[in-house]
Structure 1
């Protein structure tokens, strides 16, 4: 019986080495991204748990203000509310009510969009939830959020906003501003009020739902690197007479 020996050829070796370096590099990069994402999640979580502070006037920086808890004083413009469709609560379908808010604590401040919370589809009409249309000066406490770019499969499956029909599938501040014809701040506030008269909208609709799949991605790249190495070693084994193992 002829013995097998590892006798690599130049071209397969160079190709495999280059691919191995790329795969390991991608795995290391994902581990670096994992550390960055964990730090980001911890930072945002701590912000959401901090004591609320008065919301500054004007636009805000996303890196500094995302998920920070704030308060603002003013009045809801209920006649201008917008409907953010296809939102669920405990498995029940419905929508979120986005209402422009005119601040009285800061003179000449732009309107602030406030996500007041969830309502079922049969409560879409404001007249079905009159008690929840809070009037007069109120204090809103919530967290700051910013619109996110639509990427990947969202471009395929997420319907386009229909401003003329008040049908919104994603928060888009410039589009909403154009419809209302008045300046909006570049963010929105998710209302933390979960005790609205009449029960709707149901506030406090925020979750720190940031995907963190970098460890799985890293393991995938490293597994591919190991698989490539195994295939390379097997393919480069030869019998003593010079013929391949296969």
Structure 2
């Protein structure tokens, strides 16, 4: 068998792999365009006013919920330290319960507060607005929830609601949005923006195309070396 024919099998294998790598790069460019469309929708929703909570809210839609706050029902989610004018202060996200006219209860994340045990606001905002958050479930590295003290590390409305002694809790949570309180205030710091997914598909495409280019040069080097052998 000639040396040129000996390169046929590795050449075909390299060609197939290069085609696969290029296809992956093109796929990432397609996902880039898809993700840019999602981000454009989020930016448009960011500037739109909130709408009354519909039966089936659209993704990335700001909504407003009417109802009555249940007095004394509060919990803290997470454990986060914020820098304040007086130095680092521990705290968490303050969760309170809002009962709609339908009797359904929605847990509302009013924002970060400098509390280590939950204290309900005496005058929470009426008709809070924000975005809906699907429930999360505990992972391997999640902190241990402490329902007895109203402290949670997993954003699970059913579990948090049960810890508050509530029933008919909605299977989602409202993340409140609004203006930031003055520096040093004990009031909650609500979310300022809708969540935006990361968009790294351009870098991923360059990586796959780069692997394809490296493979081509590696095969050229391999072939030249094989053909030069006596």
Are 1:100 and 2:97 counterparts? yes
Note the alpha carbon deviations across 1:137-169, whole angstroms, 9 max, x for none: 92222233333577xxxx454435444553322
Mark the runs of 5 or more structure 2 residues left unpaired by the alignment. Answer: none
Q: Give the Å deviation of 1:78.
A: 4.6
Q: 2:217 aligns with which of 221, 230, 237?
A: 230
Q: 1:71 aligns with which of 43, 46, 64?
A: 64
Are 1:166 and 2:150 counterparts? yes
The separation in 2 between residues aligned to 1:14 and 1:40, in whole angstroms, is 39
Higher RCO (CA < 8 A, seq sep 6+): 1
* Residue aligning to 2:126: 138
Alignment of 1:210-225 (within 5 A): 210-225=197-212
Note the alpha carbon deviations across 1:171-192, whole angstroms, 9 max, x for none: 1223224433412223222223
Are 1:190 and 2:178 counterparts? no
Normalised TM-score (structure 2)? 0.79
Q: Give the Å deviation of 1:227.
A: 0.4
Note the alpha carbon deviations across 1:66-88, whole angstroms, 9 max, x for none: 33222222222352212111345
* CA RMSD between the two structures: 3.1
Mark the runs of 5 or more structure 1 residues left unpaired by the alignment. Answer: none
The separation in 1 between residues aligned to 2:9 and 2:144, in whole angstroms, is 50
Is contact 2:131–2:194 with CA below 8 Å preserved after alignment?
no
Which has the larger displacement, 16-25 or 160-169? Answer: 160-169
